[in-house]
């Protein structure tokens, strides 16, 4: 299918009570759109990153009681999975779309990224757009815009990534559900491409240098 954008009904999926009813609608209505985004952008990310980037759509298979509050498609340099690797995601909560680079708690690359972030913090703050947000909890839809963060807050991220086993970090763009961009498939995909280009240096920093 061709991705045509998200509708209010797509965001409203996360208001459906109960795990099975929510998952049923999510699978029928939202997942095909995430799959379309994944396939559309995989060649772009492969070219951008210089290695094959494989599509992984969230299955929420571990959930037994609580329904998901968000869903996403991820791209990583591994066919089998993405959680142990630095990766890119496009996803949605009830309130917004997120377009991010992520190193989550399951990835051993956290320390590599933390060390590179500390060594290159000035460049990162200069090159990442101020309205992009940082978060250390993939279940938290809020995060903090970079332009509102000081050096101490970045140092907290750096320290936690190196010292706390469950620490994780995400950076990227948030698009409100009511933003016209959300429902314009072509424009949204172009924004995602541009966002990933801005985030590429973070992705590269998360791997050891040869």
Q: Give residue 125's pLDDT band: very low, low, confident or very high (50, 70, 90).
A: very high
Segment 60-79 shows an average pLDDT of 91
Outline where the chain has alpha helix (H).
8-12, 19-25, 31-49, 110-119, 121-127, 151-163, 185-205
pLDDT digit string, tens, across residues 35-52: 999 999 999 999 999 999
Res 142: pLDDT: 83
Res 105: pLDDT: 86
> What CATH class does 8-205 carry?
alpha beta
Q: Give residue 144's pLDDT band: very low, low, confident or very high (50, 70, 90).
A: very high
CA 46 – CA 77 distance, rounded (Å): 9
Res 209: pLDDT: 83
- The residue among 210 and 45 whose pLDDT is bigger is 45
Segment 134-156 shows an average pLDDT of 93
Res 64: pLDDT: 78
pLDDT digit string, tens, across residues 84-100: 999 999 999 999 999 99
Segment 136-153 shows an average pLDDT of 92
Residue 104 has pLDDT above 80, yes or no: yes
Res 127: pLDDT: 96
CA 197 – CA 167 distance, rounded (Å): 25
């Amino acid at each position: 299918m061709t991705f045509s954008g998200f509708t209010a009904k797509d965001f409203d999926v996360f208001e459906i009570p109960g795990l099975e009813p929510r998952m049923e609608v999510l699978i029928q209505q939202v997942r095909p759109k995430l799959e379309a985004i994944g396939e559309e952008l995989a060649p772009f990310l492969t070219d951008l990153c210089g290695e094959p980037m494989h599509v992984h759509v969230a299955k929420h298979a571990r959930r037994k009681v609580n329904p998901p509050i968000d869903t996403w498609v991820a791209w990583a340099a591994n066919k089998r999975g993405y959680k142990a690797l630095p990766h890119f995601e496009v996803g949605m909560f009830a309130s917004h779309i997120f377009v991010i680079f992520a190193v989550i708690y399951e990835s051993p690359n956290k320390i590599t990224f933390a060390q590179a972030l500390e060594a290159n913090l000035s460049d990162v703050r200069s090159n990442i757009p101020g309205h992009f947000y940082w978060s250390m909890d993939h279940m938290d839809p809020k995060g903090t815009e970079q332009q509102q963060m000081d050096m101490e807050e970045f140092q907290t991220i750096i320290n936690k990534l190196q010292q706390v086993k469950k620490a994780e970090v995400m950076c990227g763009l948030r698009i409100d559900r009511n933003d016209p961009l959300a429902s314009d498939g072509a424009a949204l995909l172009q924004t995602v491409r541009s966002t990933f280009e801005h985030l590429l240096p973070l992705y590269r920093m998360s791997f050891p240098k040869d």
